[in-house]
Amino acid sequence: AQKIGVLALQGAVAEHIRCLQEVGAEAVAVKRTEELNELDGLVIPGGESTTIGKLMRKYGFIEAIQAFHAQGKPLFGTCAGLIVLAKEIENGEEAHLGLMDMTVVRNAFGRQRESFETELDIKGIDEPVRAVFIRAPLIGRVGEGVDVLSVYKDEIVAAREGTLLAASFHPELTDDYRLHAYFVDMVREASQAKANA
Ligand code: GLN
């Protein structure tokens, strides 16, 4: 099985572990950078991006995850995790990992509604996916290499750039595991590509 970590500094960690296990991956909580060495992929969960970013800096995760990415290993950011992946955060806030070519707008739906649930069409997944949004960010701009996977009311809410996957919502809070299965497929493909290189 693919071994996938969930960054466990703050946020919805246990829920992601459960979903990854449901789709057949081995899943572990990651608290120290050394633990990245044994992993094939990493999930950065939702929570509070400023807090997660601060803790990432404190424990050396910025450089460690950038190196993990440079090895071709996939990353999946949900909600605050999406913000952490972005090259740019609107309002001039400092980027965290700065890996994915997009500009994110924090708390973009919160002005209207703190949280809501909907069904989303997601490219690569056959039937609509149940999505929970909680003080969610949106993706305001994407670079040329970014594939838009889902749009909600004209706003981009899921995207992929090579081995990077990002979603504004919380796929770990439903019993719909298809986005996790999608990520596990990405991880499997990346490990196979490595083995064949
Ligand atoms: N609003 C949070 C942030 O900006 C993200 C919310 C979430 O992850 N549910 O970090």
Residue whose CB lies within 8 A of the most ligand 1 atoms, among 106, 111, 133, for a mutation test: 106
Residue 66, sorted as left (phi over 0), alpha (psi -120 to 50) or beta, turns out to be alpha
Mean pLDDT (the chain) is 96
Q: How far apart are CA 51 and CA 9, in angstroms?
A: 9
Tens digits of residue pLDDT in 66-87: 999 999 999 999 999 999 999 9
Q: Residue 156: give its domain's CATH number.
A: 3.40.50.880
Tens digits of residue pLDDT in 157-180: 999 999 999 999 999 999 999 999
Cα of 160 from ligand 1 centre, angstroms? 19
Q: How far apart are CA 8 and CA 186, in angstroms?
A: 21
pLDDT, residue 111, reads 58
Cα of 166 from ligand 1 centre, angstroms? 13
Give 69's contacts (C-beta < 8 A, 6+ positions apart): 75, 97, 99, 163, 164
Determine contact, residues 159/169, Cβ cutoff 8 Å.
no
Does 79 participate in catalysis according to the annotation? yes
Tens digits of residue pLDDT in 89-127: 998 899 999 999 999 999 998 655 789 999 999 999 999
Lining residues, ligand 1, CB within 6 Å: 46-49, 79-80, 83, 106-107, 134-135, 137
Tokens 């994407």 correspond to 142
pLDDT, residue 112, reads 55
Q: Which domain holds residue 27?
A: 3-196
Cα of 142 from ligand 1 centre, angstroms? 19
Strands 164-167 and 155-161: antiparallel
| 127-150: average pLDDT | 96
Confidence of residue 197 (pLDDT cuts 50, 70, 90): confident
Does 34 participate in catalysis according to the annotation? no
Tokens 């899921």 correspond to 158
Residue 31 has pLDDT above 90, yes or no: yes
- Stated pTM of the model: 0.96
Overall number of domains in the chain: 1
Alpha carbon nearest to ligand 1 atom 5, residue: 80
| 142-152: average pLDDT | 98
